[in-house]
Amino acid sequence: MTAPESSRAIAEGIFTTGAAPRLIGGRDRATGRIVFPRPAGDQHDAIMLGNRGTIWSWTIQRFRPKSPPYAGPADFTPYAMAYVELGGEIIVESRLTNIALDAITIGMDVELVLVPLDPDTEGSLLIHAFQPLPAGAAQ
């Protein structure tokens, strides 16, 4: 049986698991500036970032990154990367998923999901990614 999602996160404290996952950011107690991920220490309060946003910029990673540090599958498939603007809060770097590599545009509406780092391995670590919203689902 596959381990529960909560124990498969690639790191602790960067997102919540479950039906509607959220990235966990940090809000600077002095300045109010929001950052992701939340830095260690007590200068930043944890906040749940919005789970929907728009693509701010994007690219395709077309060669396998070197290991270490990359921990993805040895058999490489190009993946899409983006910065996603989350409703006036912050712009976060993230993979894109469930999207055709030739159909990505700046301004596309997307929502947060968790996906396996290695889709072919059961129980793979989970990473955050954004996927297109169904047409008409944007707020």
Coil/strand/helix, residue 7? helix
Tokens, residue 4: 């529960």
The answer to the question of residue 46 lying near another protein (CB under 8 A) is no
- Rule CB under 8 A: which of 62-121 touch another protein? 62-63, 65-66, 68-72, 79, 81-83, 85, 88-93, 95, 106, 117
Distance, CA of 28 to CA of 38 (rounded, Å): 9
Closer to another protein at the Cβ: 18 or 70?
Answer: 70
- Dist. CA 89–CA 60, nearest whole Å: 25
Q: How far is the CB of 59 from another protein (least distance, A)?
A: 4
Nearest-approach distance from CB 84 to another protein, in angstroms: 10
- Taking the least distance from each CB to another protein, the nearer of 56 and 133 is 56
Residue 32 touching another protein (CB under 8 A): no
- Amino acid sitting at position 20: A
Size of the site for another protein (CB under 8 A): 40
- Contact assessment for residue 26 and residue 39, using Cβ atoms and an 8 Å cutoff: yes
Instruction: Give dist(CA 128, CA 98) in Å, integer.
Output: 13
Token readout for 87 is 């409703």
Would you tell me which residues interact with another protein (CB under 8 A)? 10-11, 14, 25, 33-37, 56-63, 65-66, 68-72, 79, 81-83, 85, 88-93, 95, 106, 117, 125, 127
